Structure 1
Protein backbone atom coordinates (compact mmCIF):
# COMPACT_ATOMS: atom_id res chain seq x y z
CA UNK A 1 0.00 0.00 0.00
CA UNK A 2 2.89 2.32 0.78
CA UNK A 3 4.45 1.80 -2.68
CA UNK A 4 1.08 2.35 -4.34
CA UNK A 5 0.56 5.59 -2.39
CA UNK A 6 4.01 6.80 -3.35
CA UNK A 7 3.28 6.15 -7.03
CA UNK A 8 0.04 8.10 -6.78
CA UNK A 9 1.88 10.99 -5.14
CA UNK A 10 4.38 11.13 -7.99
CA UNK A 11 1.70 11.30 -10.67
CA UNK A 12 0.88 14.77 -11.99
CA UNK A 13 -2.56 16.04 -11.16
CA UNK A 14 -4.79 16.62 -14.20
CA UNK A 15 -4.64 20.21 -15.36
CA UNK A 16 -7.89 22.10 -15.57
CA UNK A 17 -8.86 24.65 -18.21
CA UNK A 18 -9.30 28.29 -17.41
CA UNK A 19 -12.34 30.27 -18.49
CA UNK A 20 -10.24 31.91 -21.20
CA UNK A 21 -9.16 28.54 -22.58
CA UNK A 22 -12.76 27.35 -22.60
CA UNK A 23 -13.84 30.49 -24.44
CA UNK A 24 -11.07 30.09 -27.05
CA UNK A 25 -11.99 26.44 -27.52
CA UNK A 26 -15.63 27.34 -28.16
CA UNK A 27 -14.61 30.19 -30.47
CA UNK A 28 -12.36 27.92 -32.58
CA UNK A 29 -15.30 25.54 -33.04
CA UNK A 30 -17.29 28.34 -34.68
CA UNK A 31 -16.14 28.01 -38.28
CA UNK A 32 -17.85 31.20 -39.44
CA UNK A 33 -16.11 33.24 -36.73
CA UNK A 34 -12.69 31.69 -37.43
CA UNK A 35 -12.98 32.31 -41.18
CA UNK A 36 -14.13 35.87 -40.48
CA UNK A 37 -11.16 36.51 -38.19
CA UNK A 38 -8.66 35.38 -40.82
CA UNK A 39 -10.46 37.27 -43.59
CA UNK A 40 -10.60 40.46 -41.52
CA UNK A 41 -6.91 40.17 -40.62
CA UNK A 42 -6.12 39.70 -44.31
CA UNK A 43 -8.08 42.86 -45.20
CA UNK A 44 -6.29 44.86 -42.50
CA UNK A 45 -2.84 43.64 -43.56
CA UNK A 46 -3.51 44.26 -47.24
CA UNK A 47 -4.93 47.73 -46.50
CA UNK A 48 -1.84 48.84 -44.56
CA UNK A 49 0.90 46.94 -46.41
CA UNK A 50 -0.54 46.75 -49.92
CA UNK A 51 0.00 50.43 -50.89
CA UNK A 52 3.78 49.96 -50.65
CA UNK A 53 3.65 47.40 -53.48
CA UNK A 54 1.38 49.34 -55.85
CA UNK A 55 2.77 51.33 -58.77
CA UNK A 56 0.31 54.17 -58.09
CA UNK A 57 -0.47 56.18 -54.95
CA UNK A 58 -3.98 57.11 -53.92
CA UNK A 59 -3.51 60.76 -54.99
CA UNK A 60 -1.41 60.20 -58.11
CA UNK A 61 -3.10 61.02 -61.43
CA UNK A 62 -2.59 58.99 -64.61
CA UNK A 63 -3.50 61.43 -67.37
CA UNK A 64 -3.52 58.60 -69.94
CA UNK A 65 -6.12 56.54 -68.06
CA UNK A 66 -9.03 58.67 -66.94
CA UNK A 67 -12.33 56.90 -66.26
CA UNK A 68 -10.83 53.61 -67.47
CA UNK A 69 -11.92 50.10 -66.46
CA UNK A 70 -9.44 47.66 -64.85
CA UNK A 71 -6.22 47.52 -66.85
CA UNK A 72 -3.59 45.04 -65.66
CA UNK A 73 -0.98 46.24 -68.16
CA UNK A 74 -0.88 49.73 -66.63
CA UNK A 75 -1.27 48.48 -63.07
CA UNK A 76 -4.83 49.77 -62.58
CA UNK A 77 -6.27 46.55 -61.21
CA UNK A 78 -9.52 48.18 -60.06
CA UNK A 79 -9.64 50.79 -62.83
CA UNK A 80 -9.43 54.57 -62.37
CA UNK A 81 -11.83 57.30 -61.28
CA UNK A 82 -12.95 60.49 -63.06
CA UNK A 83 -9.62 62.16 -62.20
CA UNK A 84 -7.40 59.30 -63.36
CA UNK A 85 -6.50 58.09 -59.88
CA UNK A 86 -5.97 54.39 -59.27
CA UNK A 87 -9.03 52.88 -57.60
CA UNK A 88 -7.16 50.02 -55.91
CA UNK A 89 -4.82 52.48 -54.18
CA UNK A 90 -7.77 54.63 -53.14
CA UNK A 91 -9.75 51.63 -51.87
CA UNK A 92 -6.79 50.54 -49.74
CA UNK A 93 -6.34 54.06 -48.39
CA UNK A 94 -10.08 54.34 -47.75
CA UNK A 95 -10.04 51.00 -45.92
CA UNK A 96 -7.17 52.27 -43.75
CA UNK A 97 -9.12 55.37 -42.83
CA UNK A 98 -12.32 53.45 -42.04
CA UNK A 99 -10.40 50.99 -39.85
CA UNK A 100 -8.61 53.80 -37.99
CA UNK A 101 -11.88 55.65 -37.43
CA UNK A 102 -13.54 52.49 -36.13
CA UNK A 103 -10.62 51.59 -33.84
CA UNK A 104 -10.20 55.05 -32.30
CA UNK A 105 -13.93 55.69 -31.93
CA UNK A 106 -14.45 52.25 -30.37
CA UNK A 107 -11.69 52.87 -27.81
CA UNK A 108 -13.25 56.24 -26.95
CA UNK A 109 -16.78 54.84 -26.66
CA UNK A 110 -15.71 51.80 -24.61
CA UNK A 111 -13.58 53.88 -22.24
CA UNK A 112 -16.32 56.42 -21.56
CA UNK A 113 -19.16 53.91 -21.50
CA UNK A 114 -17.50 51.44 -19.13
CA UNK A 115 -16.44 54.04 -16.57
CA UNK A 116 -19.72 55.97 -16.77
CA UNK A 117 -21.94 52.88 -16.58
CA UNK A 118 -19.91 51.30 -13.76
CA UNK A 119 -20.10 54.45 -11.63
CA UNK A 120 -23.84 54.81 -12.20
CA UNK A 121 -24.55 51.15 -11.43
CA UNK A 122 -22.31 50.95 -8.37
CA UNK A 123 -23.53 54.04 -6.55
CA UNK A 124 -27.18 53.70 -7.60
CA UNK A 125 -29.87 55.88 -6.10
CA UNK A 126 -29.88 59.54 -7.09
CA UNK A 127 -26.46 59.31 -8.72
CA UNK A 128 -27.71 56.55 -11.00
CA UNK A 129 -30.95 58.41 -11.76
CA UNK A 130 -29.18 61.66 -12.70
CA UNK A 131 -26.52 59.94 -14.80
CA UNK A 132 -29.04 57.83 -16.70
CA UNK A 133 -31.26 60.85 -17.37
CA UNK A 134 -28.24 62.52 -18.96
CA UNK A 135 -27.87 59.46 -21.17
CA UNK A 136 -31.56 59.65 -22.11
CA UNK A 137 -31.22 63.32 -23.06
CA UNK A 138 -28.19 62.59 -25.24
CA UNK A 139 -30.08 59.71 -26.86
CA UNK A 140 -32.77 62.20 -27.88
CA UNK A 141 -30.24 64.39 -29.72
CA UNK A 142 -29.50 63.23 -33.29
CA UNK A 143 -25.81 62.39 -33.60
CA UNK A 144 -25.65 63.95 -37.05
CA UNK A 145 -26.54 67.30 -35.47
CA UNK A 146 -23.77 66.84 -32.91
CA UNK A 147 -21.20 66.10 -35.64
CA UNK A 148 -22.36 69.07 -37.73
CA UNK A 149 -21.89 71.37 -34.72
CA UNK A 150 -18.35 70.00 -34.22
CA UNK A 151 -17.51 70.48 -37.90
CA UNK A 152 -18.82 74.05 -37.88
CA UNK A 153 -16.93 74.93 -34.68
CA UNK A 154 -13.61 73.18 -35.29
CA UNK A 155 -13.47 72.54 -39.04
CA UNK A 156 -13.11 69.29 -40.98
CA UNK A 157 -10.58 67.55 -38.78
CA UNK A 158 -10.39 63.72 -39.14
CA UNK A 159 -9.28 63.33 -35.51
CA UNK A 160 -12.31 65.35 -34.43
CA UNK A 161 -14.49 63.00 -36.46
CA UNK A 162 -13.03 60.00 -34.62
CA UNK A 163 -13.67 61.54 -31.21
CA UNK A 164 -17.12 62.84 -32.19
CA UNK A 165 -18.37 59.43 -33.31
CA UNK A 166 -16.89 57.76 -30.22
CA UNK A 167 -18.44 60.39 -27.96
CA UNK A 168 -21.89 59.38 -29.23
CA UNK A 169 -21.53 55.60 -29.42
CA UNK A 170 -20.75 55.22 -25.69
CA UNK A 171 -24.38 55.69 -24.65
CA UNK A 172 -25.49 52.11 -25.28
CA UNK A 173 -22.28 50.79 -23.74
CA UNK A 174 -23.00 52.79 -20.57
CA UNK A 175 -26.46 51.24 -20.28
CA UNK A 176 -25.14 47.71 -20.75
CA UNK A 177 -22.33 48.20 -18.20
CA UNK A 178 -24.71 49.84 -15.73
CA UNK A 179 -27.04 46.83 -15.88
CA UNK A 180 -24.18 44.37 -15.38
CA UNK A 181 -22.79 46.45 -12.50
CA UNK A 182 -26.12 46.41 -10.67
CA UNK A 183 -25.83 42.62 -10.60
CA UNK A 184 -22.11 42.42 -9.84
CA UNK A 185 -22.14 44.79 -6.86
CA UNK A 186 -24.28 42.29 -4.94
CA UNK A 187 -21.72 39.49 -5.36
CA UNK A 188 -19.66 38.11 -2.49
CA UNK A 189 -16.29 39.35 -3.74
CA UNK A 190 -17.58 42.94 -3.77
CA UNK A 191 -18.92 42.56 -0.23
CA UNK A 192 -15.55 41.14 0.81
CA UNK A 193 -13.75 44.12 -0.73
CA UNK A 194 -16.05 46.51 1.15
CA UNK A 195 -15.43 44.64 4.40
CA UNK A 196 -11.69 44.91 3.75
CA UNK A 197 -11.94 48.70 3.64
CA UNK A 198 -11.55 49.15 -0.13
CA UNK A 199 -12.71 52.50 -1.45
CA UNK A 200 -15.53 52.71 -4.04
CA UNK A 201 -13.21 53.72 -6.90
CA UNK A 202 -10.89 50.81 -6.09
CA UNK A 203 -13.80 48.38 -6.04
CA UNK A 204 -15.07 49.68 -9.38
CA UNK A 205 -11.73 49.52 -11.20
CA UNK A 206 -10.25 46.38 -9.61
CA UNK A 207 -13.27 44.19 -8.98
CA UNK A 208 -16.22 45.25 -11.12
CA UNK A 209 -14.66 46.44 -14.40
CA UNK A 210 -12.48 43.29 -14.87
CA UNK A 211 -15.61 41.14 -14.52
CA UNK A 212 -17.28 43.11 -17.33
CA UNK A 213 -14.76 41.93 -19.92
CA UNK A 214 -17.12 39.47 -21.63
CA UNK A 215 -20.06 41.83 -22.31
CA UNK A 216 -17.73 44.74 -23.11
CA UNK A 217 -15.68 42.76 -25.66
CA UNK A 218 -18.81 41.42 -27.31
CA UNK A 219 -20.50 44.79 -27.59
CA UNK A 220 -17.28 46.52 -28.69
CA UNK A 221 -16.98 44.03 -31.54
CA UNK A 222 -20.56 44.74 -32.57
CA UNK A 223 -20.01 48.49 -32.20
CA UNK A 224 -17.25 48.61 -34.80
CA UNK A 225 -19.64 47.95 -37.73
CA UNK A 226 -21.95 50.69 -36.45
CA UNK A 227 -19.07 53.15 -36.33
CA UNK A 228 -17.88 52.19 -39.83
CA UNK A 229 -21.41 52.72 -41.16
CA UNK A 230 -21.69 56.05 -39.30
CA UNK A 231 -18.38 57.26 -40.73
CA UNK A 232 -19.38 56.11 -44.21
CA UNK A 233 -22.70 57.91 -43.91
CA UNK A 234 -21.05 61.13 -42.75
CA UNK A 235 -18.48 60.91 -45.54
CA UNK A 236 -21.29 60.25 -48.02
CA UNK A 237 -22.91 63.52 -46.87
CA UNK A 238 -19.61 65.36 -47.20
CA UNK A 239 -19.10 65.78 -43.44
CA UNK A 240 -16.45 63.12 -42.99
CA UNK A 241 -13.01 62.53 -44.48
CA UNK A 242 -12.20 65.03 -47.22
CA UNK A 243 -9.87 65.12 -50.21
CA UNK A 244 -7.11 64.27 -50.86
CA UNK A 245 -7.70 61.61 -48.19
CA UNK A 246 -10.57 59.24 -48.64
CA UNK A 247 -12.63 56.58 -46.89
CA UNK A 248 -14.91 53.80 -48.02
CA UNK A 249 -17.92 56.05 -47.50
CA UNK A 250 -16.37 58.81 -49.61
CA UNK A 251 -15.54 56.37 -52.41
CA UNK A 252 -19.07 55.00 -52.37
CA UNK A 253 -20.48 58.53 -52.50
CA UNK A 254 -18.36 59.24 -55.59
CA UNK A 255 -19.19 55.92 -57.22
CA UNK A 256 -22.94 55.86 -56.66
CA UNK A 257 -23.87 58.65 -59.17
CA UNK A 258 -21.79 57.05 -61.94
CA UNK A 259 -22.52 53.39 -61.15
CA UNK A 260 -24.14 52.78 -64.54
CA UNK A 261 -21.18 53.99 -66.62
CA UNK A 262 -18.31 53.38 -64.17
CA UNK A 263 -19.49 50.40 -62.08
CA UNK A 264 -16.01 49.57 -60.77
CA UNK A 265 -15.95 52.84 -58.83
CA UNK A 266 -18.86 51.63 -56.70
CA UNK A 267 -18.37 47.86 -56.66
CA UNK A 268 -14.81 47.83 -55.28
CA UNK A 269 -15.31 49.97 -52.12
CA UNK A 270 -18.81 48.57 -51.54
CA UNK A 271 -17.51 44.98 -51.68
CA UNK A 272 -14.75 45.75 -49.15
CA UNK A 273 -17.17 47.54 -46.83
CA UNK A 274 -19.77 44.76 -46.93
CA UNK A 275 -17.10 42.09 -46.39
CA UNK A 276 -15.71 43.90 -43.35
CA UNK A 277 -19.16 44.38 -41.84
CA UNK A 278 -20.08 40.71 -42.34
CA UNK A 279 -16.77 39.56 -40.81
CA UNK A 280 -17.23 41.79 -37.77
CA UNK A 281 -20.81 40.59 -37.33
CA UNK A 282 -19.79 36.92 -37.40
CA UNK A 283 -16.89 37.60 -35.03
CA UNK A 284 -19.23 39.37 -32.62
CA UNK A 285 -21.67 36.45 -32.72
CA UNK A 286 -18.82 34.00 -32.16
CA UNK A 287 -17.51 35.94 -29.16
CA UNK A 288 -21.01 36.18 -27.73
CA UNK A 289 -21.40 32.40 -27.89
CA UNK A 290 -17.86 31.75 -26.60
CA UNK A 291 -18.15 34.12 -23.63
CA UNK A 292 -21.73 33.22 -22.72
CA UNK A 293 -21.66 32.24 -19.01
CA UNK A 294 -24.48 29.74 -19.60
CA UNK A 295 -22.09 27.61 -21.68
CA UNK A 296 -19.35 27.46 -19.07
Structure 2
Protein backbone atom coordinates (compact mmCIF):
# COMPACT_ATOMS: atom_id res chain seq x y z
CA UNK A 1 0.00 0.00 0.00
CA UNK A 2 1.39 3.41 -0.91
CA UNK A 3 2.23 5.96 1.80
CA UNK A 4 1.15 9.57 1.67
CA UNK A 5 3.86 12.23 1.82
CA UNK A 6 2.95 13.49 5.33
CA UNK A 7 3.05 10.08 7.00
CA UNK A 8 6.20 9.07 8.85
CA UNK A 9 7.45 5.49 8.41
CA UNK A 10 6.83 3.77 11.75
CA UNK A 11 6.26 0.34 13.20
CA UNK A 12 3.41 -1.55 11.68
CA UNK A 13 0.01 -0.19 12.69
CA UNK A 14 1.30 3.06 14.35
CA UNK A 15 0.74 6.34 12.61
CA UNK A 16 2.76 9.50 13.13
CA UNK A 17 0.16 10.98 15.51
CA UNK A 18 0.12 7.83 17.66
CA UNK A 19 3.90 7.83 17.80
CA UNK A 20 3.98 11.40 19.11
CA UNK A 21 1.51 10.49 21.87
CA UNK A 22 3.53 7.39 22.72
CA UNK A 23 6.78 9.37 22.95
CA UNK A 24 5.07 12.00 25.14
CA UNK A 25 3.75 9.35 27.53
CA UNK A 26 7.20 7.75 27.73
CA UNK A 27 8.77 11.12 28.52
CA UNK A 28 6.23 11.73 31.28
CA UNK A 29 6.93 8.29 32.76
CA UNK A 30 10.66 8.99 32.68
CA UNK A 31 10.45 12.44 34.26
CA UNK A 32 7.78 11.57 36.86
CA UNK A 33 9.05 11.65 40.46
CA UNK A 34 9.38 8.31 42.18
CA UNK A 35 6.90 7.62 44.93
CA UNK A 36 7.90 6.95 48.53
CA UNK A 37 6.84 4.01 50.60
CA UNK A 38 5.27 4.37 54.03
CA UNK A 39 8.57 3.33 55.61
CA UNK A 40 10.46 6.01 53.69
CA UNK A 41 7.92 8.63 54.74
CA UNK A 42 8.25 7.56 58.37
CA UNK A 43 12.07 7.70 58.21
CA UNK A 44 11.93 11.13 56.60
CA UNK A 45 9.71 12.43 59.41
CA UNK A 46 11.98 10.81 62.00
CA UNK A 47 15.12 12.37 60.48
CA UNK A 48 13.40 15.77 60.54
CA UNK A 49 12.99 15.46 64.32
CA UNK A 50 16.34 16.76 65.57
CA UNK A 51 15.73 15.74 69.18
CA UNK A 52 14.97 12.13 68.16
CA UNK A 53 18.02 11.92 65.88
CA UNK A 54 20.29 13.35 68.60
CA UNK A 55 18.80 10.85 71.07
CA UNK A 56 19.60 7.96 68.72
CA UNK A 57 23.26 8.97 68.52
CA UNK A 58 23.54 9.56 72.28
CA UNK A 59 21.91 6.20 73.07
CA UNK A 60 24.18 4.42 70.60
CA UNK A 61 27.19 6.07 72.25
CA UNK A 62 25.99 5.06 75.72
CA UNK A 63 25.46 1.44 74.63
CA UNK A 64 28.90 1.25 72.99
CA UNK A 65 30.63 2.85 75.97
CA UNK A 66 28.78 0.63 78.46
CA UNK A 67 29.56 -2.66 76.70
CA UNK A 68 32.97 -1.93 75.15
CA UNK A 69 34.38 0.68 77.52
CA UNK A 70 35.14 -1.71 80.44
CA UNK A 71 37.73 -3.53 78.29
CA UNK A 72 39.80 -0.33 78.05
CA UNK A 73 39.58 0.82 81.66
CA UNK A 74 42.68 0.52 83.89
CA UNK A 75 40.53 -0.75 86.79
CA UNK A 76 38.15 -3.68 86.87
CA UNK A 77 34.70 -3.75 88.42
CA UNK A 78 35.67 -5.55 91.64
CA UNK A 79 39.31 -4.42 91.81
CA UNK A 80 40.20 -2.49 94.98
CA UNK A 81 42.71 0.34 95.05
CA UNK A 82 43.82 0.38 98.68
CA UNK A 83 45.59 3.71 98.20
CA UNK A 84 42.47 5.49 96.88
CA UNK A 85 39.53 4.66 99.13
CA UNK A 86 36.72 7.26 99.12
CA UNK A 87 38.74 9.49 96.80
CA UNK A 88 37.36 12.04 94.29
CA UNK A 89 38.12 11.77 90.56
CA UNK A 90 41.86 11.37 89.99
CA UNK A 91 43.01 11.23 86.35
CA UNK A 92 46.61 10.41 87.28
CA UNK A 93 45.53 7.10 88.84
CA UNK A 94 42.84 6.35 86.27
CA UNK A 95 39.88 6.92 88.59
CA UNK A 96 37.98 9.24 86.28
CA UNK A 97 34.77 9.09 88.36
CA UNK A 98 36.47 8.63 91.73
CA UNK A 99 36.18 5.60 94.01
CA UNK A 100 33.59 4.29 96.47
CA UNK A 101 33.88 3.44 100.16
CA UNK A 102 35.69 0.20 99.33
CA UNK A 103 38.18 1.69 96.87
CA UNK A 104 36.44 0.38 93.73
CA UNK A 105 36.52 2.46 90.57
CA UNK A 106 33.21 4.28 90.09
CA UNK A 107 33.53 4.52 86.30
CA UNK A 108 33.85 0.74 85.97
CA UNK A 109 30.89 0.23 88.30
CA UNK A 110 28.80 2.87 86.51
CA UNK A 111 29.40 1.22 83.12
CA UNK A 112 28.54 -2.20 84.56
CA UNK A 113 25.41 -0.74 86.14
CA UNK A 114 24.43 0.81 82.80
CA UNK A 115 24.86 -2.60 81.15
CA UNK A 116 22.60 -4.23 83.72
CA UNK A 117 19.92 -1.51 83.46
CA UNK A 118 19.87 -1.80 79.65
CA UNK A 119 19.67 -5.61 79.79
CA UNK A 120 16.82 -5.40 82.29
CA UNK A 121 14.98 -2.91 80.11
CA UNK A 122 15.25 -4.84 76.84
CA UNK A 123 14.56 -8.30 78.31
CA UNK A 124 11.55 -7.12 80.30
CA UNK A 125 10.24 -5.03 77.37
CA UNK A 126 10.53 -8.01 75.01
CA UNK A 127 8.60 -10.23 77.43
CA UNK A 128 5.89 -7.59 77.98
CA UNK A 129 5.53 -6.93 74.24
CA UNK A 130 5.14 -10.64 73.39
CA UNK A 131 2.58 -11.27 76.13
CA UNK A 132 0.68 -8.05 75.43
CA UNK A 133 0.46 -8.64 71.67
CA UNK A 134 -0.77 -12.22 71.97
CA UNK A 135 -3.21 -11.47 74.80
CA UNK A 136 -4.62 -8.28 73.29
CA UNK A 137 -4.92 -9.68 69.76
CA UNK A 138 -6.83 -12.76 70.96
CA UNK A 139 -9.18 -10.68 73.08
CA UNK A 140 -9.84 -8.15 70.32
CA UNK A 141 -10.31 -10.68 67.52
CA UNK A 142 -12.69 -13.08 69.25
CA UNK A 143 -14.61 -10.36 71.12
CA UNK A 144 -17.80 -11.13 72.98
CA UNK A 145 -17.58 -13.09 76.20
CA UNK A 146 -13.93 -14.02 75.66
CA UNK A 147 -12.99 -10.37 75.32
CA UNK A 148 -14.99 -9.42 78.40
CA UNK A 149 -13.42 -12.09 80.60
CA UNK A 150 -9.87 -11.38 79.40
CA UNK A 151 -10.12 -7.60 79.82
CA UNK A 152 -11.75 -7.90 83.26
CA UNK A 153 -8.67 -9.87 84.31
CA UNK A 154 -6.53 -6.97 83.06
CA UNK A 155 -8.63 -4.55 85.11
CA UNK A 156 -8.16 -6.69 88.22
CA UNK A 157 -4.39 -6.78 87.67
CA UNK A 158 -4.37 -3.00 87.33
CA UNK A 159 -6.17 -2.64 90.66
CA UNK A 160 -3.68 -4.76 92.62
CA UNK A 161 -0.53 -3.12 94.06
CA UNK A 162 2.46 -3.53 91.78
CA UNK A 163 5.05 -3.66 94.55
CA UNK A 164 3.25 -6.61 96.14
CA UNK A 165 3.79 -8.69 93.02
CA UNK A 166 7.44 -7.66 92.90
CA UNK A 167 7.98 -8.84 96.48
CA UNK A 168 6.29 -12.14 95.61
CA UNK A 169 8.58 -12.50 92.61
CA UNK A 170 11.65 -11.89 94.78
CA UNK A 171 10.44 -14.54 97.23
CA UNK A 172 9.73 -17.01 94.40
CA UNK A 173 12.81 -16.39 92.22
CA UNK A 174 15.28 -15.47 94.94
CA UNK A 175 18.15 -13.28 93.77
CA UNK A 176 18.28 -14.65 90.23
CA UNK A 177 18.40 -11.45 88.13
CA UNK A 178 17.27 -13.04 84.85
CA UNK A 179 14.11 -14.50 86.38
CA UNK A 180 13.44 -11.17 88.07
CA UNK A 181 13.74 -9.36 84.72
CA UNK A 182 11.31 -11.79 83.13
CA UNK A 183 8.99 -11.34 86.10
CA UNK A 184 9.00 -7.55 85.65
CA UNK A 185 8.15 -8.05 81.99
CA UNK A 186 5.27 -10.32 82.96
CA UNK A 187 3.78 -7.43 84.96
CA UNK A 188 4.33 -4.71 82.35
CA UNK A 189 2.16 -6.16 79.57
CA UNK A 190 -1.19 -4.81 80.74
CA UNK A 191 -1.13 -1.49 78.87
CA UNK A 192 0.29 -3.17 75.76
CA UNK A 193 -2.61 -5.65 75.81
CA UNK A 194 -5.14 -2.81 75.93
CA UNK A 195 -3.49 -0.98 73.03
CA UNK A 196 -3.29 -4.12 70.89
CA UNK A 197 -6.86 -5.06 71.71
CA UNK A 198 -8.14 -1.66 70.57
CA UNK A 199 -6.20 -1.83 67.31
CA UNK A 200 -7.38 -5.39 66.67
CA UNK A 201 -11.03 -4.40 67.06
CA UNK A 202 -10.66 -2.04 64.08
CA UNK A 203 -8.37 -4.27 62.01
CA UNK A 204 -10.59 -7.34 62.14
CA UNK A 205 -13.28 -5.50 60.16
CA UNK A 206 -10.91 -4.60 57.32
CA UNK A 207 -11.24 -6.11 53.84
CA UNK A 208 -8.05 -8.18 53.92
CA UNK A 209 -9.16 -9.90 57.13
CA UNK A 210 -12.60 -10.59 55.66
CA UNK A 211 -10.92 -12.04 52.56
CA UNK A 212 -8.70 -14.30 54.66
CA UNK A 213 -11.72 -15.42 56.67
CA UNK A 214 -13.68 -16.13 53.49
CA UNK A 215 -10.72 -18.11 52.16
CA UNK A 216 -10.99 -20.53 55.07
CA UNK A 217 -8.06 -19.29 57.18
CA UNK A 218 -8.21 -20.29 60.83
CA UNK A 219 -8.55 -17.58 63.51
CA UNK A 220 -5.02 -17.92 64.89
CA UNK A 221 -3.60 -17.87 61.36
CA UNK A 222 -5.45 -14.63 60.68
CA UNK A 223 -4.20 -13.14 63.95
CA UNK A 224 -0.54 -14.00 63.36
CA UNK A 225 -0.36 -13.40 59.59
CA UNK A 226 -2.74 -10.52 59.00
CA UNK A 227 -3.43 -8.65 62.24
CA UNK A 228 -0.16 -8.76 64.20
CA UNK A 229 2.01 -7.51 61.27
CA UNK A 230 -0.27 -4.46 60.99
CA UNK A 231 0.30 -3.60 64.66
CA UNK A 232 3.98 -2.73 64.13
CA UNK A 233 3.55 1.03 64.46
CA UNK A 234 1.69 1.18 67.80
CA UNK A 235 3.76 -1.68 69.23
CA UNK A 236 7.10 -0.05 68.37
CA UNK A 237 5.96 3.28 69.76
CA UNK A 238 4.74 1.88 73.06
CA UNK A 239 7.71 -0.50 73.42
CA UNK A 240 10.08 2.47 73.09
CA UNK A 241 8.15 4.30 75.79
CA UNK A 242 8.09 1.17 77.99
CA UNK A 243 11.89 0.87 78.14
CA UNK A 244 12.42 3.98 80.32
CA UNK A 245 9.51 2.95 82.53
CA UNK A 246 11.14 -0.42 83.18
CA UNK A 247 14.52 1.22 83.83
CA UNK A 248 12.86 3.41 86.46
CA UNK A 249 11.12 0.38 87.96
CA UNK A 250 14.36 -1.59 88.18
CA UNK A 251 16.20 1.39 89.65
CA UNK A 252 13.47 1.84 92.25
CA UNK A 253 13.54 -1.84 93.20
CA UNK A 254 17.34 -1.83 93.42
CA UNK A 255 17.16 1.32 95.54
CA UNK A 256 14.88 -0.57 97.95
CA UNK A 257 17.19 -3.58 97.93
CA UNK A 258 14.78 -5.80 95.97
CA UNK A 259 16.55 -5.67 92.61
CA UNK A 260 20.07 -6.47 91.45
CA UNK A 261 22.36 -7.53 94.29
CA UNK A 262 26.11 -7.65 94.78
CA UNK A 263 28.48 -8.60 93.20
CA UNK A 264 26.34 -7.39 90.27
CA UNK A 265 25.20 -3.81 90.22
CA UNK A 266 22.83 -1.50 88.40
CA UNK A 267 22.29 2.23 88.23
CA UNK A 268 19.60 1.99 90.88
CA UNK A 269 21.93 0.08 93.20
CA UNK A 270 24.69 2.64 92.71
CA UNK A 271 22.28 5.50 93.40
CA UNK A 272 21.12 3.76 96.60
CA UNK A 273 24.76 3.52 97.73
CA UNK A 274 25.53 7.13 96.81
CA UNK A 275 22.44 8.82 98.24
CA UNK A 276 23.34 8.41 101.96
CA UNK A 277 26.87 9.81 101.45
CA UNK A 278 26.07 12.51 98.90
CA UNK A 279 27.43 15.25 101.18
CA UNK A 280 30.78 13.53 101.76
CA UNK A 281 31.15 11.62 98.43
CA UNK A 282 28.97 13.43 95.86
CA UNK A 283 30.64 11.71 92.90
CA UNK A 284 29.18 8.38 94.02
CA UNK A 285 25.68 9.72 93.35
CA UNK A 286 26.24 12.08 90.44
CA UNK A 287 27.93 9.68 88.01
CA UNK A 288 25.20 6.95 87.96
CA UNK A 289 22.45 9.57 88.25
CA UNK A 290 23.73 11.43 85.17
CA UNK A 291 23.83 8.22 83.12
CA UNK A 292 20.32 7.28 84.28
CA UNK A 293 18.79 10.69 83.55
CA UNK A 294 20.53 10.91 80.17
CA UNK A 295 19.20 7.50 79.10
CA UNK A 296 15.67 8.28 80.25
CA UNK A 297 15.62 11.63 78.42
CA UNK A 298 16.95 10.12 75.19
CA UNK A 299 14.49 7.22 75.30
CA UNK A 300 11.60 9.60 75.93
CA UNK A 301 12.57 11.86 73.01
CA UNK A 302 13.08 8.82 70.78
CA UNK A 303 9.65 7.46 71.71
CA UNK A 304 8.02 10.79 70.92
CA UNK A 305 9.87 10.94 67.60
CA UNK A 306 8.79 7.43 66.62
CA UNK A 307 5.18 8.25 67.54
CA UNK A 308 5.23 11.35 65.33
CA UNK A 309 6.94 9.46 62.49
CA UNK A 310 4.80 6.34 62.48
CA UNK A 311 1.50 8.03 63.28
CA UNK A 312 1.66 11.67 62.10
CA UNK A 313 -2.10 12.15 62.58
CA UNK A 314 -1.63 11.70 66.32
CA UNK A 315 0.76 14.64 66.67
Which category describes the TM-score, using the shorter chain as reference length?
over 0.9
Matched, 1:274 2:293: yes
Matched, 1:5 2:42: no
Moved over 4 A (4+): none
Q: Give the secondary structure class of the aligned counterpart of 2:97.
A: coil
Q: Which runs of 5+ in 1 are unaligned?
A: none
Q: Distance in 2 between matches of 1:225 and 1:181?
A: 26
**Which of 106, 127, 148 is the equivalent residue of 1:129?**
148
Q: Larger radius of gyration, structure 1 or 2?
A: 2
Matched, 1:175 2:194: yes
**Which of 79, 84, 91 is the equivalent residue of 2:98?**
79
Matched, 1:43 2:31: no
How many positions carry a matched residue from both structures? 296
Aligned residue for 2:11? Answer: none
Q: Distance in 1 between matches of 2:294 and 2:142?
A: 42
Aligned residue for 1:254? Answer: 273
Q: Which runs of 5+ in 2 are unaligned?
A: 1-16
Aligned residue for 1:195? Answer: 214
Q: Distance in 2 between matches of 1:181 and 1:293?
A: 20
Are 2:136 and 2:197, in contact at CA under 8 Å, matched by a contact in 1? yes
Q: Distance in 2 between matches of 1:173 and 1:139?
A: 12
Q: What is the root-mean-square deviation of aligned Cα atoms in Å?
A: 1.4
CA offset digits 1:45-82 (Å, max 9, x no partner): 00000000001111111111000000000000000000
Q: Distance in 1 between matches of 2:59 and 2:172?
A: 36
Q: Distance in 1 between matches of 2:248 and 2:312?
A: 30
Kindly state the Cα deviation for residue 6 of structure 1 after the two structures are TM-superposed.
3.7
Aligned residue for 1:290? Answer: 309
Matched, 1:224 2:240: no
Are 2:233 and 2:310, in contact at CA under 8 Å, matched by a contact in 1? yes
Q: Distance in 1 between matches of 2:284 and 2:161?
A: 31
